[in-house]
Amino acid sequence: MTSTGTTSTTEVWHVVQWSGGIGSWATAQRVAAAHGTDRMILLFADVLVEHPDLYRFSRQAAARLGLGVTRVCDGRTPFELFSDVRFLGNNRIAPCSRILKQLPARRWLEAELPPDRTVLYVGIDSFEKHRAPAIAKGWRPWRVEFPLLQRPHLTKDDMLAWATSLRLRPPALYVPPYNLRHNNCGGFCVRAGIRQWTRMLTVDPDGFAEAEAAEARMRDQLGDVAILRDRRDGRSRPLPLAELRHRTTA
Ligand code: SF4
Burial class (CB in 10 A: 0-12, 13-18, 19+), 58: buried
CA 98 – ligand 1 centroid, Å: 9
What's the one-letter identity of residue 56?
R
Q: Which atom of ligand 1 is nearest to the CA of 191?
A: 2
Q: Ligand 1 pocket: which residues have CB below 6 Å? A: 47, 78, 89, 94, 96-97, 100-101, 184-185, 189-191
Residue nearest to atom 2 of ligand 1 (CA): 189
Question: Read out DSSP for 84-126?
Answer: HHT----SS--HHIIIIIIHHHHHHHHHH--GGGEEEE----G
Cα distances from 221 to residues 94, 129, 239, in angstroms, run 18, 38, 17
| pLDDT at res. 9 | 46
Q: How many Å apart are CA 89 and CA 140, to the nearest integer? A: 25
pLDDT at position 137 is 97
Residue ranges of domains in the chain, CATH in brackets: 13-175 (3.40.50.620), 193-249 (no CATH)
- Say what the pLDDT of residue 6 is: 40
Our mutation pick for probing the ligand 1 site, out of 101, 135, 181, 241, counting the most ligand atoms within 8 A of Cβ, is 101
Pairing of strands 143-145, 13-17: unpaired
- Enumerate residue ranges in the chain where pLDDT < 50: 1-9
